[in-house]
Copies of this chain bind each other. A is one copy, B any other.
Amino acid sequence: MPIALSVKTTHRIDMIDITSSVQKEVSNTGIQDGICAVYVPHTTAGITINEGADPDVCEDIMAKLSELVPSRRGYRHTEGNADSHIKASLMGNSLSVLVENGRLVLGTWQKIFFCEFDGPRSRKVYVKVIC
């Protein structure tokens, strides 16, 4: 089984900073130099990297996604989460981040965000480092 982080989300639409949890798993592997794959095994959640300093950035991302892909009726999929699936594909569910000297190589303002689109739920994120 791959390394799996547990993520608890608290709203239907939510963005959770998982950077330190991903870094901890990278550190646990002992790998100094490689590529870290971060993978969301869900179909109504995604992953993105964006600014972590001002939480309003995530609020704006979520508001815009909800404006472009509203959760109203009118979809064919009748489970009430058609919008969640669409949002997930727009954000994507896999990322690659470089690892150097045992650390994720992120830009100054970058944080890794788990994107919940059909919460609140308990979710998983897989992490794997290849060197």
Residues of A within 8 A of B (CB): 1-2, 34-35, 37, 39-43, 48-51, 54, 56-57, 59-61, 63-64, 68-69, 75-79, 82, 85-86, 88-98, 100, 105-110, 124, 126, 128, 130-131
On whether the beta carbons of A64 and B86 are closer than 8 Å, the reply is yes
Task: Report the minimum CB–CB distance from A130 to chain B (whole Å).
Answer: 5
Known pairs A107-B43, A131-B130; A61 contacts B89 (CB<8 A): yes
Q: Determine the chain B residues whose CB is within 8 A of the CB of A91 once the complex forms.
A: 89
Main secondary structure of the interface of A (DSSP, over half): mixed
On whether the beta carbons of A39 and B105 are closer than 8 Å, the reply is yes
Number of copies: 3
**Can you list 22 pairs linking A and B with CB atoms under 8 Å apart?**
A34-B130, A35-B37, A41-B106, A41-B108, A42-B107, A43-B51, A43-B107, A49-B89, A56-B77, A59-B76, A60-B85, A63-B75, A64-B69, A64-B86, A68-B68, A90-B90, A94-B95, A94-B96, A94-B97, A95-B96, A96-B96, A130-B130
The 8 Å CB contact of A92, one of B56, B69, B92, is B92
On whether the beta carbons of B75 and A60 are closer than 8 Å, the reply is yes
